[in-house]
């Protein structure tokens, strides 16, 4: 770890507009960028910001800011990707929490190391990925996760978490529940596969590959197919503010699921591993309730993916939140399902 002589510079009243993909313009009371874990430790030891909450920020891509943030916003920028172990079949890769997630995916694709290619183009950083066990196209990070190192914010010691300790679930982890606010994730290590085992069964991946005439897809082919699908459905946050899926896909008990399937014969649904519950796509429910493409001022529901709420320009966080509440109410009334928010609202 590099030795740091002084704590990093803390700024006051900083606009968070460049730091959140929803494009919301609120201010942080204090703001600091951390390039090495030691810098944060130094800052805490100096004690000047002990009176105020610390809010850790990665890519700001799963966040809805509804008001000025009366906290020290700590922008995590710990970088670096390194191979830490290797055997005949696998390679263990460690990445700093501030590494852009897609850069890590691309690093793996370039080396033809399999396991995270289906997670191409997910916005955000490596450190945020385990918080909600990011997932897409049939793959979640828990599938390749090996361990992470996190700073315990009470003891200021670094602790190692294996997969079991992270308590991963669908868009869930220990860090969203019992561990909430207690750790700063510093780095994450993954076990990647040297032999390609493409997962192409989800959604349109196979169709995209067939259209291109690809029969034995490489890691790169799968990544490119995922990128093409995402680009066709999901708005680019650089063009239209958004935080990806705003809600989680709900799971319901089998009897209620059967009633819904009887009532709506076309309703897509998926089994939940290890349970008799059934998962329904919130995007389908929201579309059926008539919200797809809806717009009120600059807050809206994406026209190509109803699970994604968008900011067309000047919407504030409360307007997006109000829209989300109206959608929740309407889904509860129409389907009897209570949607849960996936995005963190601050
Ligand atoms: N659907 C509709 N209308 C819509 C959107 C979806 O009918 O407006 C239907 C689709 O036709 C399909 C089903 O819903 O039958 C599922 O749609 P899709 O494959 O687009 O995925 P999703 O369930 O809506 C989830 C993740 C996404 C991830 C995709 C692909 C959640 C909350 N979202 O969305 O993750 O990219 O699967 O794996 O699980 C994110 O978390 O931010 C995110 C974008």
What's 87's domain CATH number?
Answer: 3.30.465.10
Q: Are residues 128 and 164 in the same domain?
A: yes
SS3 sequence, 108-148?
HHHCCCECCHHHCCCCCECCCCCCCCCEECCEEHHHCEEEE
**Distance from residue 208's CA to the centre of ligand 1 (Å):** 17
- How many structural domains compose the chain? 3
Tell me whether residue 228 is in a domain: no
Q: Are residues 67 and 98 in the same domain?
A: no
Q: Are residues 286 and 257 in the same domain?
A: yes
Tell me whether residue 2 is in a domain: no
Confidence band of 71 (pLDDT split at 50, 70, 90): very high
Q: Which residues are catalytic?
A: 171, 245, 342
Residues 170-200 have pLDDT tens digits of 999 999 999 999 999 999 999 999 998 899 9
Q: Are residues 157 and 181 in the same domain?
A: yes
pTM of this structure: 0.95
**Confidence (pLDDT) at 203:** 79
Residue 202: is its pLDDT beyond 80? yes
What's 299's domain CATH number?
Answer: 3.90.78.10
Q: Who wins on pLDDT, 184 or 203?
A: 184
User: Which is nearest to 27 in space by CA: 67, 82, 74, 80?
Assistant: 67
- Protein residue whose Cα sits closest to atom 43 of ligand 1: 245
Tell me whether residue 216 is in a domain: no
Residue 247: is its pLDDT beyond 60? yes
Counting ligand 1 atoms within 8 A of each CB, the residue from 228, 284, 342 with the most, and so the one to mutate, is 284
Q: Which H or E run contains 282?
A: helix 282-288
Q: Are residues 15 and 105 in the same domain?
A: no
**Confidence (pLDDT) at 197:** 85
What's 17's domain CATH number?
Answer: 3.30.43.10
Residue 210: is its pLDDT beyond 80? yes
Tell me whether residue 215 is in a domain: no
Q: Are residues 36 and 137 in the same domain?
A: no
**Confidence (pLDDT) at 280:** 98
Confidence band of 273 (pLDDT split at 50, 70, 90): confident
Q: Are residues 331 and 247 in the same domain?
A: yes
Q: Which domain covers residue 114, as residue numbers?
A: 81-193
Residues 80-135 have pLDDT tens digits of 999 999 999 999 999 999 999 999 999 999 999 999 999 999 999 999 999 999 99
Tell me whether residue 223 is in a domain: no
Place of tokens 């014969």: 265
Within 6 Å (CB) of ligand 1, which residues are found? Answer: 136-137, 203, 233-234, 244-245, 248-249, 268, 281, 283-284, 287, 292, 305-307, 342
Tell me whether residue 300 is in a domain: yes
- Protein residue whose Cα sits closest to atom 40 of ligand 1: 245
The DSSP letter of residue 7 is P
Counting ligand 1 atoms within 8 A of each CB, the residue from 304, 307, 308, 339 with the most, and so the one to mutate, is 307
- Protein residue whose Cα sits closest to atom 24 of ligand 1: 283
Tell me whether residue 227 is in a domain: no
Q: Are residues 183 and 248 in the same domain?
A: no
C-beta neighbour count of 131 within 10 angstroms: 23
């Amino acid at each position: 770890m590099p030795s740091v002589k002084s704590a990093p510079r803390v700024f006051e009243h900083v606009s968070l507009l460049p730091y959140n993909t929803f494009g919301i313009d609120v201010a942080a009371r204090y703001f600091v960028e951390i390039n090495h874990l030691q810098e944060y430790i130094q800052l805490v030891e100096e004690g000047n910001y002990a009176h105020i909450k610390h809010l850790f920020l990665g890519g700001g891509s799963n966040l809805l800011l509804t008001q000025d943030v009366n906290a020290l916003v700590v922008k995590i920028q710990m970088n670096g990707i390194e191979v830490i172990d290797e055997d005949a079949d696998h390679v263990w890769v460690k990445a700093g929490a501030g590494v852009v997630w897609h850069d890590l995916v691309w690093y793996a694709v370039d080396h033809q190391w399999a396991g995270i290619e289906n997670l191409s183009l997910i916005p955000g950083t490596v450190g945020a990925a385990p918080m909600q066990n990011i997932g897409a196209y049939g793959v979640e990070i828990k599938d390749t996760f090996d361990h992470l190192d996190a700073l315990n914010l009470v003891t200021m010691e670094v602790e190692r978490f294996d997969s079991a300790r992270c308590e991963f679930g669908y868009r869930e982890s220990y860090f969203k529940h019992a561990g909430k606010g207690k750790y700063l994730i510093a780095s994450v290590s993954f076990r990647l596969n040297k032999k390609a085992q493409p997962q192409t069964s989800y959604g349109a991946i196979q169709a995209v590959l067939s259209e291109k005439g690809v029969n034995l897809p490489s890691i790169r082919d799968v990544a490119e197919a995922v990128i093409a699908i995402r680009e066709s459905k999901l708005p680019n946050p650089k063009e239209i503010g958004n935080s990806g899926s705003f809600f989680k896909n709900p799971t319901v008990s089998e009897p209620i699921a059967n009633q819904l399937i009887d009532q709506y014969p076309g309703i897509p649904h998926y089994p939940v591993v290890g349970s008799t519950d059934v998962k329904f796509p919130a995007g389908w429910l929201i579309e059926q309730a008539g919200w797809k493409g809806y717009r009120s001022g600059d807050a809206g529901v994406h026209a190509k993916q109803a699970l994604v709420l968008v900011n067309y320009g000047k919407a504030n966080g409360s307007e997006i939140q109000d829209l989300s509440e109206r959608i929740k109410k309407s889904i509860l009334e129409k389907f009897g399902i209570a949607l849960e928010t996936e995005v963190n609202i601050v």
